[in-house]
Structure 1
Amino acid sequence: MKKILPFILLAGVGFLSFSCDNKDDVVVTKDYDTISQSFDINPNFTKVSDNLYRWSDAFINPLVQSDMVLIYMQVGTDGDSPIWKLLPYTYYVGNPNNDAVDYIYEFSKYGATININSTSTFNLTANPSYYQGKRFRVLILPANATGTGGAKMANNNVVDYKDYNSVIKYYNIDESKIKTK
């Protein structure tokens, strides 16, 4: 029995070593769950005060921790193409008080909020054009930049998030498929 025990122990160690071999594992080269999402919104802002209006919405599905949200506001057009400005964005009213209107956003994995506020001497309630009829584009992007909808990492390019067209190109977003929510 004493002569058989070392062989059994050696067989057990050999079996464990073989079963822990991961050479037959499939290597995943694409991450199919990090897809860019985008949609337009024409929000109805709620009055918080004469100088603050707010819109909030929950995401249908919570975001992955590494996702990021960018929100752009349409500030005009260039021919048929909209001109987008990344939030936060400050618009200077151009009055003698040098008043400004700030468009700010924040997000969590559960939703996003857009705040529009103004300097204390500028009453937003009396100037509804600064919060009514505004169009925003929400981009939900994979921060890890992998996957079929993720960023192309060729030549270690870095995207300029302030440049909307650069972001669209970098993340392969098809603008013809962007819907209004």
Structure 2
Amino acid sequence: MAILQSCTKEEYYVQDDGYDSDTISEVWEYTNVDFTSTNNYTVILGFPQATYTSDMVLVYRLAAYDGGGVGDIWKPLPETYFFPDGTLDFGYSNDFSQYDTQIVLSGYDLPTLNDSYKYDQIFRVVVIPGYFGNKMTASVDFSDYNAVIEYYHIDDSNVTKIPLK
């Protein structure tokens, strides 16, 4: 007597539209940031949690508060200021890891630089998940903070604020 057994194989197909519904962009705001000779005009801003190596990290400095309803002015780093003759006066630059970003104020004569550029600075760090940053960069101007916020549907009314003092 021969016994034949049949197996049923069920296949499930998952449609991957490329959208990761549990990965979100984040914004962290660092207040009371001071650049002094004591810290060699360098500040390290620690992240509340580690980012992925594939994430895009953008850093913006608050250059002007809301004036006349136009909104705050956020300038992207690196940010450079020049003397009228075209030589470097001063500027902000940054680098980052998964855990922090380091911001450096460098320039010609930093001790005499106007205090408004050295003390009580406010920075925003925008973290964009790697998928979004790598796949959709063509149609957003990363130098425009508001365009980035709008493009990635970030609610910046509830930014995580991290005071340094």
Aligned to 2:109: 123
Quote how far apart the aligned CAs of 1:93 are.
Answer: 4.5
Which residue in the other structure is 2:49 paired with?
Answer: 61
Separation in 2, partners of 1:141, 1:62: 13
2:29 is matched with which residue: 40, 53, 58? 40
Distance 1:57 1:99 in 2: 25
Pairing 1:132–2:122 present? no
1:88 corresponds to which of 51, 74, 78: 78
- Between Structure 1 and Structure 2, how many residues are aligned? 156
Opposite residue 68 of structure 2, the aligned amino acid is: G
* TM superposition shift of 1:66: 2.0
The answer to whether the 8 Å contact 1:46/1:55 transfers is no
Gaps of 5+ in 2: none
**% of aligned pairs identical?**
31
| CA offsets 1:57-104 (integer angstroms, 9 cap, x no match) | 22232112221110111222442411111111101254x784421211
In the alignment, does 2:132 pair up with 1:175?
A: no
Task: Report the AA paired with residue 73 of structure 1.
Answer: R
Pairwise CA RMSD: 3.1
Structure 1: unaligned runs, 5 residues or longer: none
8 Å CA contact retained: 1:34, 1:142: yes
Q: Aligned partners of 1:28 and 1:111: how far apart in 2?
A: 32
* Mapped partners of 1:97, 1:87: distance in 2: 19
TM score, norm. by length of structure 2:
0.76
Q: Say if 1:178 and 1:61 are closer, same or farther in 2 by CA, change over 3 A.
A: closer
Distance 1:104 1:27 in 2: 42
Q: Secondary structure at the match of 2:148?
A: helix
Alpha-carbon distance in structure 1 between the residues aligned to 2:86 and 2:75: 24
CA shift, 1:170, in A, is 0.1
- Distance in 1 between the 2:152 and 2:86 partners? 41
TM-score (norm. length: structure 1): 0.70
Shift of the 39–168 alpha-carbon distance from structure 1 to 2, 3 Å rule, reads: same
Q: Looking at both structures, which has the greater relative contact order when contacts are Cα pairs under 8 Å and sequence separation is at least 6? A: 2
Aligned partners of 2:25 and 2:94: how far apart in 1? 19
Instruction: Report the secondary structure of 1:135's partner residue.
Output: strand
